[in-house]
Amino acid sequence: METLRVSLGKRSYDIRVGGGILDGVGTICRDLGLGRHAAVVTNTTVGPLYYERVAVSLAAAGFTPCRIEVPDGEEYKNSAILNGIYDELIAAGLTRDAFIVALGGGVVGDMAGFAAATFLRGVPFVQVPTTLLAQVDSSVGGKTGINHPRGKNLIGAFYQPRGVVIDVETLATLPEREYLGGMAEVVKYGAVLDPEFFSFLESNASRLLARERDPLVRVIGRSVGLKAMVVEKDECEAGLRAVLNYGHTLGHAVETLTGYTRFLHGEAVAIGMVQAAKVAEARGLATPADTRRIVSLLGALGLPTELPEFSAAEYREALLRDKKSRDGGLDFVLNRGVGDHAIVRLSDLSEVLETCGIGR
């Protein structure tokens, strides 16, 4: 097991990455000094696969676990389902000696984390991500929240977990499409933060598609390390952390316009990265060869790269509802070559719309 530290003063925590470590969740929670009662929030897909192992581990460590199961899917990341989690926490009689375990993908982690941030004005929680997307991105950094019909992640809070437990063996049960979607976030780190990591992904795409353990462990460890580095420098996205939104601005617009049902989050981010690369090239921050490398790697990993067809007006409205929008403009993350980044302020969205061929 590899342990990485996210250093945030009193809110610091460890990320544990390994194979077969799911059965150690209870011991890890006990070592963290958490309270007696554990509410395990999971979904209808992950719960039948892994809840019993986690519950047995928690019980063996002296905790009393209860199960809260939510529907599986981005479309359920909303206030109605969140209220259902509150209802079950209250019905279980949980008090401030309780903590929440988020067992599942990014949707479960975001909602369980937001429930933890707000239930009784805050109880501890532990992230146990079971999807690649959650393991390399959403489980680390403390972003929690829900979607609103008019935009993604518009309601939420920064609330750090007490720990993150990543068992790579849970990826064995992950559907192919979701696995590939998680690879989009992996590509993101290389494209804007680490050129050598990007080259490693290019050289090992076929091994990653085959889910070979060694390159996969390396990829998850490096992704988490890069995410931790950024979060330590900018916990609440005042500056540098915005770089992690590479591909997300147009990606969120795609998700919003398609009602969160047509594309997985990672697929939408892949589409958004291609468009960001086009804008970077148009601005002279990257070369056509850089853009081709990004498009090629995403394609090699089985990810979509083409924008769905909506009008320029629809894309403009969705972009302006993005949480990074202010005063009619938008902060936009671009790749500088491959492996570096620039954050630009766009006061006129026409540049993005025209460069990406939206509304032609």
Candidate list 227, 278, 293, 341, residue with the active-site label? 227
Q: Which residue has the tokens 């988490």?
A: 224
Is residue 143 among the annotated active site residues? yes
Are 267 and 252 a contacting pair, CB within 8 Å? no
Please list, in sequence order, all residues whose beta carbon lies within 8 angstroms of the beta carbon of residue 231, skipping any fewer than 6 positions away: 6, 8, 140, 141, 142, 241
Query: Is 188 designated active site?
Result: no
CA distance 340 to 345: 17
* Residue tagged active-site, from 77, 265, 278, 293: 265
Is residue 121 annotated as part of the catalytic site, yes or no? yes
List 74, 88, 185, 267, catalytic entry: 185
Please state, in angstroms and rounded to a whole number, the distance separating the CA atoms of residues 360 and 354: 8
Q: Of 77, 143, 293, 341, which is the active-site residue? A: 143
How far apart (Å, rounded) are the C-alpha atoms in residues 188 and 270? 8
The encoded tokens of residue 8 equal: 């945030």
HEC per residue, 292-357: HHHHHHHHHCCCCCCCCCCCHHHHHHHHHCCCCEECCEEEEEEECCCCCEEEEEECCCHHHHHHCC
Q: Could you tell me how many residues make up the chain?
A: 360
Sheet holding 341-346, edge to edge: 325-326, 329-335, 341-346
User: Is 152 known to be catalytic?
Assistant: no
Given 43, 147, 153, 245, the catalytic residue: 245
Distances (CA, A) of 299 to 294, 302, 334, 336, 359: 9, 5, 19, 20, 24
Distance CA 102, CA 107 (A): 10
Catalytic residue among 252, 278, 293, 341: 252
Is 341 one of the annotated active-site residues of the chain? no
- The reply to whether 241 belongs to the active site is yes
Is 178 an active-site residue? no
Catalytic residue among 37, 152, 241, 278: 241
CA distance 202 to 187: 9
Q: Which two tokens stand for residue 84?
A: 């259902």
H/E/C letters for each residue in 216-228? HHHHHHHHHHHHH
Catalytic residue among 69, 88, 178, 237: 237
Q: Which of 37, 77, 248, 341 is catalytic?
A: 248
Which residues does the annotation mark as catalytic? 121, 143, 185, 227, 237, 241, 245, 248, 252, 265
